[in-house]
A and B are shown apart, each in its own frame.
Chain A
Amino acid sequence: MAFREYKIGSRMFAFALGSSMMITLYFPSKDIASVQATETALNRQLSFGRIGGFSVEDPFLKGQGKPVTVYLNKDPKTGSPIEPVTAYVYPVGVPFPSGLRHPRILGAGVKDLSLGQGRIADAKESSGAVFVVSAAGFNGKTLSYIENATATRGWQPSEALAAAGDANSRYIGSGKIMFVREGCWWCHTLLPEETQDWQYFGAPPMLGDFNGESPTAFGSDRKAPDLLHVASRNSSREWMTMHFYNPRLVQTHSIMPRYDYLWGEKDAAGNKIDYDKWRAEYNEYIAGKRVYAPEVPQPAAESEARKLIDFVMALK
């Protein structure tokens, strides 16, 4: 580096690259950090848990260490009927999402309400907690905030799970792991565009809809319908079950892969699933030798298919 030119050159290089980083990293992050979390963002992060991809608590993406979303119509502590409410149950040791770990990312107002009325600072991962999304006035505006129901209402995770039962429990966070692991997002975007898309796929997301969520998995290459609001278009669990097992049962021209392997060994009734038999019968059906397609097995409660369907049915 004996040359004077190279001294000038390397300083020019540092200046050029530094300015570029300033504009493309520093200014946008200042801007994005000031965004206030919407109700959607609170629901999303509370149902997904800490990370939707690889994480130390779930290194092989089996859907471990994720919260359970439950629908409650009675108070889990007293058993008395209440207005139906969606609660997010974090059993002991399940990591909290970013909004609870770093409340500043919730944005002004939401952070203050969550820390004040919501008492989220009292929640501990080591003892588990139950959260709900509530609303209250803040500086003349109504804002949604996270409420730590374990602190405010005395709801314990195990009680909330017992009160809801399996029928009212949804494994949305684990389902998102399946969505990422199985690469659903390579073809299905989660981002209706700011074009005519809203007429078919629903409204594009708002600025604060993603605070606390990771990965956002917007997708870039849309080879299939957008899914951000899919459950609002099609709320049939039966249709989803058949479609995941073999998409061509319900949509002849679909190019989606079959996800029958997510059913695992046994179906909901505990019977062993005979895939070879099913495929042979399906091939006969395609060849016109059978009138009806073979019956799709009901996924078992703990199967990965059930979790993935829970996730997709929560995309409203």
Chain B
Amino acid sequence: MLKYLFSKEEDIPPGTAAIFFGFSSIVWFVLGTGLGSFNAAKLAFPDFVTGIELLSFGHMRQVHVLAVILGWISMAFAMTMMYITPALGNTKLWSEKLGVWNCFLWNIGLGLGLFLLWNGVSSGREYSDMPWFIDLVVIFGVLFPLGINVWMTIKNRRTQGIYTTNWFFGAATFMVIVVFLVGNMPEFFNLTGLTEAYLTWWFAHNVLGLWITPVAAAISYYVVPKVTGNPLYSHRIGHLHFWSVVVFYSTPAAHHLMSAPLPEWLKSFASVEGVLILVPAIAFVSNLLLTMHGKWRMFVENVEIKYTITGVLLAIPLNMQGGFQQTRAINWYVHGTGWIVAHAHLALLGFSTFLEAAAVYYGLQVLLRRKVYSLSLANFHFWMLLIGFSTYWISMTIAGLIQGAGKIYEVPYIDVVIAEHPYMIARWVGGTMVFIGNVVWMYNMWMTARAGTPIPAGRLPHELAYER
């Protein structure tokens, strides 16, 4: 990788940046889920590793969260943007060199930020925990170069129209920069009080709503038609999805602070807008499932489609929960409980991760021109992710309902802790399965690069039979 940092643009093979991003994202995924599993063990067994400052829960929790969001998910996004955006524009990436530098700075910046966070250097604001100078690195060293590459590639396309996926890519890279700039203003300008509290959650909401959700969806708009060979069911429904994300997902930030003393009109407005999230959700899910028409056997036979459609199907419970749990009628019961933790993992580990994993599998095979080393290991990875995630989600949902009941019926808190204990163990088991699956995935992709069956020009990876 270092070799290409100082190469001439024309000496860098197309796809280099995407390959680097792909492998980086897998490594961050392994790290992030490993930390998650370790943290979960501490919640189940508090004396598991004890008395060491750097290995205490409070020092590692945020490292897990940001490693998976900015390491795994966002780098997988960057990887997909680096190969899908040019492919859909029938052109090359605007600057392969910028992409390589972007990946390099991203790994350095994120590594530094997480190292500081791990040592307790935190702004004390959830999801925007990184101190402001790391935020500046993220904005100007990571997101801005990514955006420039995506926008310029779209501008230099050799097709007449712009496909759905690229609307989302272009808009989301712009919106996430706005979100980072505005959402970190409390740190840049030391804003205080409710403004700080509100902007913290404005940031957290919009990073999910204007970055993770639309980009994950955009990826599946590419993968499903490409792999199945079916055209997208409806571009008009795609339009509906895009515009309703911009309008409805950018507005309900205040629903994260339903029980804080924010202006009442803001909470009511956020709650109503929050239900409207069902509009883009239904548009997205129906569009993708209808695209599968006549190709449903691929849901069983093809690993990329298996991942993608599982992610799309998980968007159904995700948005049903998300739309309704934030209304006052339900939020008073589940707010601040494990239910929300389960929901967050449904969004990031369920819905989003499955869509990105498909694109990383597919992209690495296409870019390396090698078929995945072992389909059995890929299937093993799939089932470890799905069963591990389901164990986690179900156990944390139950734990959350117990906590909610404890909250409403004024049960002494320690009794809630005792009641939750079995579910904490289940959560640890689920998280560990995900981690093990990811280690296997890392091995599988490494071996794909080294020993995968070469794919002849003009063929897609899944069209090839296995030789071994």
Contact = CB atoms under 8 A, between A and B. Distances in A.
B50 A189 contact: no
A196 B122 contact: no
Given A182-B120, A194-B259, A195-B408, A220 B190 contact: no
A54 B123 CA distance: 5
Interface stretch (B137-145, B192-200, B211-219, B441-449): B192-200
Contact of B56 (A16, A24, A205, A257): A257
Interface in B240-274: 243, 246-247, 250-251, 253-254, 256-257, 259-263, 266, 269
B131 interface: yes
Contact of B410 (A35, A196, A204, A256): A196
Contact of B119 (A31, A52, A60, A186): A60
A20 B270 CA distance: 11
A266 interface: no
Interface in A1-41: 1, 3, 6, 12-13, 16-17, 20-21, 23-25, 27-29, 31-33, 35, 41
Interface in B98-146: 119-126, 131-132
A53 B332 contact: no
Nearest to B49: A257
B251 to A, nearest CB: 5
A182 B196 contact: no
Contacts of A187: 57
A105 B266 contact: no
A210 B194 contact: yes
A212 interface: yes
Contacts of B124: 52-54, 180, 185, 215, 217
A181 B120 contact: yes
A20 B121 contact: no
A258 B193 CA distance: 31
B300 interface: no
A177 B56 CA distance: 16
Contacts of A223: 43, 338, 417
A28 B263 contact: yes
A101 to B, nearest CB: 8
Contact of B261 (A16, A33, A183, A206): A206
B160 to A, nearest CB: 7
Contacts of A28: 198, 254, 262-263, 266
B127 to A, nearest CB: 9
Interface stretch (B5-13, B17-25, B58-66, B88-96): B58-66
Interface residues of A, number: 84
Measured as residues with beta carbon below 8 angstroms from the partner, the interface class of chain B is 35 or more
Given A6-B162, A32-B194, A181 B337 contact: no
A254 B246 CA distance: 44
Contact of A205 (B52, B119, B195, B261): B261
A187 B60 CA distance: 13
A308 B261 CA distance: 26
Q: Which of A29, A184, A209, A210 has the most CB of B within 10 A?
A: A210
Nearest to B408: A196
B414 interface: yes
Contacts of B190: 50-51, 98, 214
A17 B248 CA distance: 10
A106 to B, nearest CB: 10
A200 B152 CA distance: 57
A294 B240 CA distance: 66
B58 A182 contact: yes
Contacts of A221: 336, 338, 340-341
B250 to A, nearest CB: 4
B290 interface: no
A158 to B, nearest CB: 27
A193 B333 CA distance: 10
B1 interface: no
Interface in A198-237: 199-200, 204-207, 209-225
Nearest to B46: A255
Contacts of A138: none
A285 interface: no
B55 to A, nearest CB: 9
A220 B126 contact: yes
A212 B193 contact: yes
Interface of A: 1, 3, 6, 12-13, 16-17, 20-21, 23-25, 27-29, 31-33, 35, 41, 45, 50-54, 59-61, 97-98, 105, 180-187, 189, 191, 193-197, 199-200, 204-207, 209-225, 247-248, 251, 253-261, 275, 279
Given A200-B413, A220-B256, A253-B417, 10 more contacts: A17-B178, A32-B195, A54-B122, A105-B192, A180-B124, A182-B58, A204-B259, A210-B197, A224-B413, A247-B46
Q: Which 5 A-B pairs have the closest CB atoms?
A: A183-B58, A53-B124, A193-B259, A181-B120, A215-B124
26 contacts: A3-B161, A13-B246, A21-B250, A24-B253, A27-B266, A28-B198, A32-B262, A33-B195, A53-B131, A54-B121, A59-B121, A97-B192, A180-B122, A180-B124, A184-B58, A186-B62, A193-B259, A195-B407, A200-B413, A212-B193, A214-B190, A221-B341, A222-B336, A223-B338, A247-B46, A257-B57
